Amino acid sequence: MKVYFDNAATTPIEPEVLDAMVPVMKDFYGNPSSIHSFGRQTRAFIENSRKTIARLLNVSPSEIFFTSGGTEADNQAIFCSVRDLGLKHAISSKIEHHAVLHTLEALEKQGRIELSFVKLKANGHIDLDHLEDLLKEKGRSLVSLMHANNEIGNLLPMKAVGLLCEKYNSVFHSDTVQTMAHYAMDLQANKVHYVTCGAHKFHGPKGVGFLYVNSAIHTGPFIYGGSQERNRRGGTENVHGIVGLAKAMEIAHRDMAAHQQQITEIKKYMMQRLESAIPDIAYNGDAGGSSLYTILNVLFPANPQAEMMLFNLDIDGIAASGGSACTSGSNQGSHVLRAIGSDQSRPSVRFSFSKYSSKAEVDYCLNSLMKMYPMPVAK
C-alpha cells in the first residue's frame, strides 16, 4: 500500500483541473499581451480566472495579482510594502515559513527595517497582548503573521489581528498558503492588506499562485519588465497554470463543507488511534484546539527504534514529514519546533491529509508505527 500523508508539502493534481488546463496548453498559445485575436483569447482565460478567484474571496479582480506561487507572493508583499509604504519596523513570529522569515531577515540585514518577534504561548499560539504592546511601542509597522502554520497547524485569529493592525495604522500581511481554498474567506470582512496563495496546496498545479493586495495599498513593481499584472510583475503569464489555479479554487469551494468534515474526521481518528496505541503520545501545537484540519504534528515518545521513523514509514510506503518540505533536505531540524520549545529529544512527525486520505490509510500507518512501538506484552 502507498499512503501519502504529506499534503501540507503538496497535493496531487485534481483530474478536473488537468482537464481544464490541457486545452489551454494545446490550443491557445497567443501571448496574452498581444492585441490580436490569439492574444485576446488567452487574455480572456487570465481575466476570467481572476474574476473567479475574486468572487470566491469577495474582493475586486483588480486586487488579485498572479505569481509563481506562495513564496513569490510573500516576497512581493514584504519587499514592496517596505520599499514603497515608508515602513521601518516589522513584527512577525519565529514560526513563519521561510518565505516570510528569510525575506524579513534579509531586509533587517540590509538595514531597511527593524524586526521584532511576537511572543508565542506554550501551545504555539501568538500572544496577542504582546502583539499589541509591540504595536503601541513601535508605532506603524508591517505585521506578517501566517493564518495556519504549515508544520503544527495552529490557526491565527485573523480578524482580531486585523483589528489590532487597524487600530495602530499598520499593514497586515498574512501567509494563507496552507488555508487558501481550505476555508471560506471573506476578505472584505477581515482587515487584512495582503494574503497569499500557492495552487499546489489544494490540488492545483505547481508554480502558480497569487497575491491579494487590498486596494488601499499602492506599490510599484516587484518584477521589472513588461506591464503585466498591472505593472507589478513583468513577464508573460503562466496561462495554463492560472486556469488550473482558478479551477482548483472553484472545485475546493464547491466541495469544501464535505471535505472539511471528511478530513477533520480522519485527523480525529488518527489522534484516537495513536492515543490508544502508544502511551505518552503528545502533539506539537494545538492539535485538539484552534488548528488546521489537514495537519497533525505528533510528538512520539523517545524510543531507539523511532529514531529512523520517517525512514521506516517510507519503507512501508508511507509519506510523512519531519518539518516543512523546503527544509527537509537540510540537517538543521525544524525552526518551528525549536521556537515552540518542543522536546527535540523525541521524534516529531507531521502527518497531513487531503480529500483523498482515508481511515484505512490511517490504520495502515498505525500498523507501521506499531512496529516501532509494540504494545507491551502482558506477563
Ligand X SMILES: Cc1ncc(COP(=O)(O)O)c(C=O)c1O
Q: Which residues of the shown chain bind ligand X in the complex (CB under 6 A)?
A: 69-71, 74, 97, 99, 146, 150, 175, 177-178, 198, 209, 324, 326
Closer Cβ to ligand X, 92 or 324, answer by number: 324
Please state the closest distance from residue 241 (CB atom) to ligand X, in A.
11
DSSP state, 358? Answer: -
User: Cα 29 vs. chain centroid, distance in angstroms?
Assistant: 31
Please state the closest distance from residue 240 (CB atom) to ligand X, in A.
17
Q: E strands, 104-155, where? A: 114-117, 142-144
**Contact, 191 vs 163, CB < 8 A?**
yes
Please state the closest distance from residue 38 (CB atom) to ligand X, in A.
29
**Whole-angstrom Cα distance, residue 92 to residue 170?**
13
Please state the closest distance from residue 75 (CB atom) to ligand X, in A.
9
**Contact, 228 vs 273, CB < 8 A?**
no
Closer Cβ to ligand X, 101 or 306, answer by number: 101
Q: How far is CA 286 from CA 17, 125, 269, 272, 346, in A?
A: 33, 8, 16, 15, 18
**Whole-angstrom Cα distance, residue 82 to residue 89?**
9
Strand order from edge to edge, sheet including 282-283: 282-283, 295-299, 348-352
DSSP three-state, residue 368: helix
Closer Cβ to ligand X, 175 or 361, answer by number: 175
Whether 197 is a known active-site residue: answer: no
Q: What are phi and psi of 152, to 5 degrees?
A: -110, -10
Closer Cβ to ligand X, 170 or 352, answer by number: 352
Please state the closest distance from residue 297 (CB atom) to ligand X, in A.
13
Alpha-carbon torsion angle 284, 351, 196, 330, nearest 10: 80
Closer Cβ to ligand X, 99 or 313, answer by number: 99
Please state the closest distance from residue 209 (CB atom) to ligand X, in A.
5
Cell 527595517 belongs to which residue?
113
Closer Cβ to ligand X, 182 or 267, answer by number: 182
DSSP state, 287? Answer: T
**Whole-angstrom Cα distance, residue 316 to residue 318?**
6
Please state the closest distance from residue 198 (CB atom) to ligand X, in A.
2
* H helix or E strand, kind and range, residue 109: helix 98-109
Closer Cβ to ligand X, 205 or 221, answer by number: 205
**Whole-angstrom Cα distance, residue 267 to residue 270?**
5
CB atoms within 10 A of CB 289: 12
Please state the closest distance from residue 363 (CB atom) to ligand X, in A.
27
Amino acid at 200: H
Closer Cβ to ligand X, 177 or 372, answer by number: 177
List the one residue out of 246, 249, 248 whose CA is nearest residue 50. 246
**Contact, 173 vs 161, CB < 8 A?**
no
- Identified catalytic residue from 80, 165, 197, 326: 326
Active site residues: 326
